[in-house]
Amino acid sequence: MKNNRFGRLSMRAVIFANFTTFATLTLLMLLAGGFGLWTFTISELSFVGASFWVWGFIAWAISVGLSSFLAASTGRATTRLDGILYGVTSWATTCVLLNLFLWTFSGQILGREMTPLFMWGAFIADAIVLGSAVYGGITGSEKEMKIELEESKQHFPPKERKLERAVGN
């Protein structure tokens, strides 16, 4: 068994998580657009309202949390630390790819200037999505939680067992 924590990460699971993130994000954005939350043409894209960006953030947080959960599950994370590593790795690769896309997209196609408000918004969104990824990774590492539950049962047995031991049965 490897003692190296990073040796236990399955890059296949992380790549799977990235594809899952972008697929889920695409579906959630199309779903909201299908419900009519926003309508625009490519020429009007620079005038997209706040609802588009707010829903985009929510959809991104959901998709990264889900994909981190799936990465930890399919990568067979056995400890919470493994789940956190899957979550952070999935978030980091997705964050780099998505931010690279958004910066290129909003900077060149939309002709928008990168204002400090935009930068702070991106920073806060990235930090919140990181929390979603870590939570997803931790919940994906179920085995650790099952082991902890069993250990807590051994340390604190039910009252009936204590009574049986005291009586001598």
Q: What is the pLDDT of residue 162?
A: 54
Q: How far apart are CA 44 and CA 15, in angstroms?
A: 34
Q: What is the pLDDT of residue 42?
A: 57
Q: What is the pLDDT of residue 2?
A: 46
CA distances from 162 to 20, 147, 148, 155 (A): 49, 22, 21, 12
| For the chain, domain boundaries | 5-167
CA distances from 41 to 6, 38, 84, 116 (A): 45, 10, 40, 27
pLDDT in tens, 110-131: 555 667 777 788 788 889 999 9
Whether the predicted model's global pTM rises above the 0.75 cut: no
Q: What is the pLDDT of residue 78?
A: 81
Q: Which residues of the chain have pLDDT under 50?
A: 1-3
